[in-house]
Amino acid sequence: MSYEGVLEQSGLGLQELVKAGEEIIGYIYPHAPLELILAHGLTPSLMRAIPGVSSGFEESLQTFACSYIRNLYNQRTNDQLPQITGLLFPSNTCDSLQNLTDIWKIRFPDDRIYRLTYPVTRYADDDSTRIYLTKELEILSKMIESTLNRPFMMDNYERAVSIIREFRHDAQFLYSARVVDPEVLSYTELSRLVRSFLTAPLVSVASEIHRVSSLVKEKMKSKGLLNIINSIMSGFQEKDFSKVKPFKRSPGPRILAVGGMVEPQAIATIINGINGVSDSIIVSDLLSFGFKSVFAPPLDKNGEPFEEMAKSILAAPGEPTQEGLQYRMRSLKDLVKALHIDGLLICEQSFCDPDQFEAPSIEKVASEAGIRTVRIPIDPELSDRARIEVKIQTFLESAGYT
């Protein structure tokens, strides 16, 4: 299925939910408290940047606003956003999203806007970040309750914790299994499954992922690879790859896609569009809407809900708001070595501070590890798709991967 087809399908799924009377809270930043929204009887849905949207930002945003927020804003001005009850913006994560929220509130005063402010602290030895975020989550919860008359229901919360735990466990397993055997499940399919869940975290979607995960598990078990996969999963979870069990590298190039708020499916589509190349070359990604969402730790159902949600969000891997550059790069260095990575696709959105500041450090790490890199300037419109495909193809050829 094409990228556009996948987008259309997930959009239709959301429309059906709305028709069935579900109220949707759209969110933009990957680390939204899904359990909190579900606990209020609402459905959280990740708003995605999509190709083919007419322009509409010019009266409100300059061209140096990042391509991601321009796309979201274009969708709003062209009435192309899904039918949502409210929209949750992040605060204190990056300047573009910070200011976009203010602009949105002024331009669309009838939209119901919520804001969650995240702390940005490096390795604080006290509980201040957890306490702060816990309080912010409580405030958000009260705000949702007061504006939508939807109280936080404990049974909803418990169901949400279970379903998200199950999703994460299964998706983490699939991510880890693909590292050992990228052919066992296409990157496109894994991305689609994760995306489906982030678009609508329903039991039916989680069940589909569980079914796929079980099938993959059976296959891996028959090959005697389960122990290795579990060791990789633990490595991802604990951000420590020293205990990853040795494994035989898969044939063909082993590429890791790195970057921030880039759609994994867009990467998969680009790769599959290259003549003679399949997405099995992508053994994993470290993208916000892929790996970083999947590997956020699940919640302890017995803990205090808001505190548990805060702990999970703060422990999500690879986020520059919580982990210093040095830490992330050290981790990347260990990862590429332990997982037999041959090359990195460094995805950068234009005018994206987090992506563009990190890219040179990633290149340095790759160089020290003796692996190749290619920087991919990408925007949600995939406006430069042909050139990107050529660039990746050239990269693969020059590195002797094809």
Partner 1 sequence: MTEKKKEEKVYRQLESNKLLQQIMFQYMLEGHQASEENRLAWVTSGFPVEIPVAMGVGVSYPEQYGAVVGSQKVGPEVCGYAEEIGYSQELCSYARASIGSVEKPDQSPMDGLPTPQALLAGNNICGTVLRWYDAVSEQTGAPVFLFDTPPITDGQPDHHKEYVRNGLDRLVDFLGTTFNTTLTDERMHEVADLSSKALELWNKSLTACKTSPTPLNCADRFLAMAPVVSMRGTELIIDFYETLLDEVEMRVKEGLGAIRDEKIRLLWDNIPPWHSIFRFFNGLAKRGVAFPADTYTHAWSGKLKIEGEGDDLFDSVVSIYSNVYLNKGLEAKIDKMCELIDDYNLDGFVMFSVRSCKRYSLGQLVSKEIVSERTGVPGVVIEGDMVDSRVYNEAQIQTRVDALLEMFM
Positive or negative, the CA dihedral 159, 116, 199, 37 is positive
How far CA 156 is from CA of 36, 38, 44, 232, 305, in Å, comes to 9, 6, 13, 32, 12
Tell me: does residue 354 bind partner 1 (CB under 8 A): yes
Q: Does 240 bind partner 1 (CB under 8 A)?
A: no
Q: Tell me which stretch binds partner 1 (CB under 8 A): 62-70, 152-160, 201-209, 229-237.
A: 62-70
Choose the stretch contacting partner 1; rule: CB under 8 A; options: 59-67, 191-199, 225-233, 385-393: 59-67
Q: How many residues bind partner 1 (CB under 8 A)?
A: 54
Out of 7, 28, 50, 61, the only residue in the binding site for partner 1 (CB under 8 A) is 61
Question: Could you tell me which residues are beta bridge partners of residue 349?
Answer: 378
Q: Give me the amino acid identity at 372.
A: R
If you search the block for the tokens 């606003």, which residue do you land on? Answer: 65
Q: Which stretch binds partner 1 (CB under 8 A): 199-207, 236-244, 302-310, 322-330?
A: 322-330
Cβ neighbours, 10 Å, residue 184: 20
CA dihedral 136, 137, 138, 143 (to 10 degrees): 90
User: Using the rule CB under 8 A, which residue among 27, 68, 118, 197 binds partner 1?
Assistant: 118
Among 36, 286, 359, 378, binds partner 1 (CB under 8 A): 359
Contact pick of 33, 119, 290, 343 for partner 1 (by CB under 8 A): 119
H or E element that contains 24: strand 24-27
- Closer residue to partner 1 (CB): 79 or 125: 125
Whether the Cβ atoms of residue 255 and residue 344 lie closer than 8 Å to each other: yes
Q: Which is nearer to partner 1, 66 or 164 (CB)?
A: 66
User: At closest approach, how far in Å is the CB of 345 from partner 1?
Assistant: 15
Starting at the edge strand found earlier in the chain, the sheet holding 372-378 runs: 282-285, 255-258, 343-349, 372-378
Say whether residue 99 binds partner 1 (CB under 8 A).
yes
Residue number with CB closer to partner 1 (221 or 364): 364
| Contact pick of 358, 379, 381, 389 for partner 1 (by CB under 8 A) | 358
Report in angstroms how near the CB of residue 333 gets to partner 1 at its nearest.
13
Confirm if 120 and 91 have CB atoms less than 8 A apart: no
Q: Does 91 bind partner 1 (CB under 8 A)?
A: yes
Q: Which amino acid is at 251?
A: P
By CB under 8 A, which span of 29-37, 94-102, 270-278, 293-301 interacts with partner 1? 94-102
Provide the 8-state DSSP code for 55: P
Q: Does 304 help bind partner 1 (rule: CB under 8 A)?
A: no
Q: Tokens in use for 367?
A: 């160089």
Q: What's the rounded Cα separation, in Å, for the pair 197 and 373?
A: 31
**307 is a contact residue toward partner 1 (CB under 8 A):** no
Residue 95 contacts partner 1 per CB under 8 A = yes
Q: Which stretch binds partner 1 (CB under 8 A): 160-168, 207-215, 281-289, 348-356?
A: 348-356
Distance in angstroms (rounded) separating the CA atoms of residues 363 and 391: 16
User: What are the percentages of helix, strand and coil residues in the chain, rounded to 5?
Assistant: 55, 10, 35
Which contiguous run of DSSP H or E holds residue 11? helix 3-19
Tell me if 98 contacts partner 1 by CB under 8 A.
yes
- Both tokens assigned to 54: 């007419």
Residues that bind partner 1 (CB under 8 A): 59-62, 64-65, 91-96, 98-100, 102-103, 106-107, 115, 117-122, 124-126, 128-129, 131-132, 135-136, 139, 320, 324-326, 329, 348, 350-351, 353-354, 356-361, 363-364
